[in-house]
Amino acid sequence: MVVGLDIVIMMTSILLSYILVYDFRIGLIDWNTCIHMMIGYTVIMVPGLVLKRIYNRLWSYASIGDLLSILRGIALGAGMIWSVNLIIYLVSGRIYAPFSVWFIAPLLTFLGIAGSRFVWRLLSDGYTGRKANKIRTLIVGAGEAGYIVARALRREQSRYYPVAFIDDNVNKLHQNLAGIPVVGTRHDIPEVVKQYDIDEIILALPSAKRQEITKIINICKTTDCKIKLIPGVNDMVNGEFTVSVLRNVDVEDLLGREPVRLNLQEIASYLEGKVVLVTGAGGSIGSELCRQVIRFHPKRLILLGRGENSVYEIEHELRAMIPSDTELIPVIADIQDYGRVANVFKTHRPDVIFHAAAHKHVPLMEMHPIEAVKNNILGTYNLVVLADMYQAERFVMISTDKAVNPTNVMGASKRAAELIVQSRSRFSRTRFATVRFGNVLGSRGSVIPLFRKQIEAGGPVTVTHPEMVRYFMTIPEAVQLVIQAGALSEGGETFVLDMGEPVKIIDLARDLIRLSGFSEKEIPIQISGIRPGEKLYEELLTKEEGTMKTVHDRIFIARSEYLAEDELAEMIASFRTLAEHQDGVQDEEIRRLLKRWVPTYMPNPGQLHLTMSNILHSEVKNTKNINLQIASSMAE
C-alpha cells in the first residue's frame, strides 16, 4: 500500500513538472512522452528508495532521520535518471524530456512522500483532536524528555491526552512544543490545572535534582490531580519511552534527598573476595545489605537469620543475581544461641560482619523487656566475642536513633549494644563500628506499610500524636551509607548518618492519603495516642557525643563512650543472670538494670504528659474518669 502510494506521488510529480515547465499550457504537452516518462521515472526511483530501506520503517514513529533517508533515496534515484538521460543525449544527441523536469520532479516527489509520512505521523500521534474518555494531562518540563513524552501520550493507544506544558524557562512561555502550548511556570500549576481542567500531572524531568522534584511535587499537591513521574534519565535513552514506565509519586520522592555518593573503590577493597556474614538477613535492612554486598563479588555471603521463610525469600531472590565467583550460604540460627553461632564462625570464618539482627518494635519490647535484653544485648555480645575470637577484619552493627537518651526498653537495649561494640574495640584487632540512623521508609514495623494497609482498608489512618516527628531515609540509601561507613572504620566509631530534616508523622499520613488518590474526607486521620515508650521526637546524638566530619558528606562520627573490660564483663554477667532466671524476674528489675548501665535511659519522666495526651485525644467524656487517670499517672 505504501509503495503504491509512492508510485502515485512519483507519477503526479512528473505530470506537475511538465505543467510547470510548459507554464500551465497543457496543450503543448506531449502526453505520449509524459506517460513514458512517468513509467521510466517510477521504475528508476523506486529501487533508490528500496536501497535506502524506506519501506522497512514504522512511519508512525517517523523522525528527522527518516526524512533524511527519503531525501537520500530520491537523490539516488534522481542521480540514476540524470545519468541515463545524459547517456541518451551523448549517444543520440536527442533530449528525451526537458532537463528542468528532472530537477522539478525529484523535488516534488520528496515533498509528496515526506508530506505523506508527516500526515501519517500526525494521525498516529493523535493531533487530529481529542478522543473521548482521555485523561487530560499537564506535562511539567518542556524539554527533550517532555517532547518525547508528549509524542508517546498522543498515540491512539494511550489513555492520556496532553493539554499543556509547564516550564520554568521563561523563553519557552507561550511557545508550542509538539503542537502543545507552554502555558506557565511551576508557580502557575494550580491556576493552569483549573483553567485547562487537568486530570493528571506528569513530571517529565528525568535529570532534575531530587530537591527540585520535591518542590514541584509540593506545588502539585495543592491540586486534586494525580501526579506521575518518569523514573529517571535512563528511561529516555535514544528517545525510547512508553506509558508503562510512568510511576506514581511515592513518599520517597517527598524527602528531596539526592542519591548517595559512594566510593566504590574503598568498598570493593574490603568486600571483594571476602567472606561476609549478614545477621538478620531476612529483615528489611539485612536483605538490602545482602543485595548491595553481592554487587562487590564477595567470596562467600552468609545469610544468617532466625526466620526460615524470610531467609528463604532473600536467598531465592539473590540466586538470580549472584556472581559466578560468589557462594551463597543460608543459615538458620538465633544469635542468642552462642554454641550455634560459634559453629557458624568456626565453619565459615567470616572476614566482615554486618549485624542487623535486632528486636526493634518499641511497644512489644515494653511488654517483653527480657526479649530485648536477650536478643539486642546478649545476642550482640555473642557476635562481638566471636568476631574477636576468630579475628574478623570488620564488624559493623546497625543501631538506631532510639538509643539516644532512650525512653523505652528497645532504645536502652540498643544503647547497651553500642557500648558493647565500642568497648570491645579497645582491646581487639577487629575493627568494630556502629552505624546509627533513624527510621527507614518501608521497613518492617515502620509507619508507611501500616498507613498503606489502613488506606487500602478504607481508613481511618491512625497517628499517635499530631506533633510527633521522625527522621526518615530510604532503605537503599541507609544501607549504602552503612557499607560506606564500614570502609571508613578504623575501630570503635559510632557513625551517625545525615538524616536530613525531621518529618511530621501526621504530614506523612496526609501525603500518603493524597498520593493514594484520596482526600481526608474519604480516608480520615485519627489520633490514637502515644504508645508506651514513645517520645514526640528522636535524637541522633547525646549531649556528650558531639560529631566529627568524615570524608563522606552524609556520615559523621560521634564521640564514643567505653566501658572498662571488667565493667563490660560485669554488665554482661548481670544481664545474663536475668536471662537465666527470667521466670522469677519482674519487668521493673530489667528496667532498673538497664538504667544502671545506660544512665541516659529515662523510662518514667514524661509519663504524665503522655497519659494526658492520650486522654485529650481519646473520646473520654467522663470528667471523673479523667481525674482518676491523671491521679494514677501522678502517683506512678
Query: How does pLDDT run across 360-370, given as a tens digit for each residue?
Result: 988 899 999 99
Q: Which of 226, 228, 374, 402 is catalytic?
A: 402
Q: How far is 416 from 421, CA to CA, in rounded Å?
A: 9
Banded pLDDT at 303 (limits 50, 70, 90): very high
Is residue 299 classed as helix, strand or coil in its secondary structure?
A: coil
Of 399, 311, 391, 313, the residue nearest 356 (C-alpha): 399
pLDDT at 626 over 50: no
Cell numbers 542468642 correspond to 336
Cell numbers 533513624 correspond to 438
Q: How far is 364 from 371, CA to CA, in rounded Å?
A: 9
pLDDT at 625 over 70: no
The helix (H) or strand (E) run that includes residue 31 is helix 31-51
The pTM for the full model equals: 0.67
Domain 264-440+477-496+543-602 coded CATH 3.40.50.720: yes
Q: Quote the distance between the C-alpha of residue 206 and its chain's center.
A: 12
Mean pLDDT of 45-60: 68
Helices assigned H by DSSP within 62-167 = 64-92, 99-125, 144-153
Give the count of beta carbons closer than 10 Å to the beta carbon of residue 559: 13
- Does the annotation count 172 as an active-site position? no
Contact between residue 311 and residue 280 where contact means Cβ atoms under 8 Å apart: no
The helix (H) or strand (E) run that includes residue 227 is strand 226-229
Q: How far is 471 from 440, CA to CA, in rounded Å?
A: 8
Q: Which residues pair with 434 in a beta bridge?
A: 397, 494
Amino acid at 332: I
pLDDT at 229 over 50: yes
**Which residues are CB-neighbours of 517 under 8 A, at least 6 positions away?**
226
* pLDDT for res 630: 32
Q: How far is 264 from 416, CA to CA, in rounded Å?
A: 32
Amino acid at 163: V
Contact between residue 251 and residue 441 where contact means Cβ atoms under 8 Å apart: yes
Mean pLDDT of the chain: 81
Reported as a single tens digit per residue, the pLDDT across 80-131 is: 877 877 777 777 766 666 777 777 888 888 888 777 777 776 665 555 454 5
| CATH architecture of the domain with range 135-249 | 3-Layer(aba) Sandwich (3.40)
Banded pLDDT at 614 (limits 50, 70, 90): very low
Cell numbers 538497664 correspond to 594
* pLDDT for res 14: 79
* pLDDT for res 90: 76
DSSP 522: T
**Which residues are CB-neighbours of 274 under 8 A, at least 6 positions away?**
298, 299, 351, 352, 393
Q: How far is 75 from 68, CA to CA, in rounded Å?
A: 10
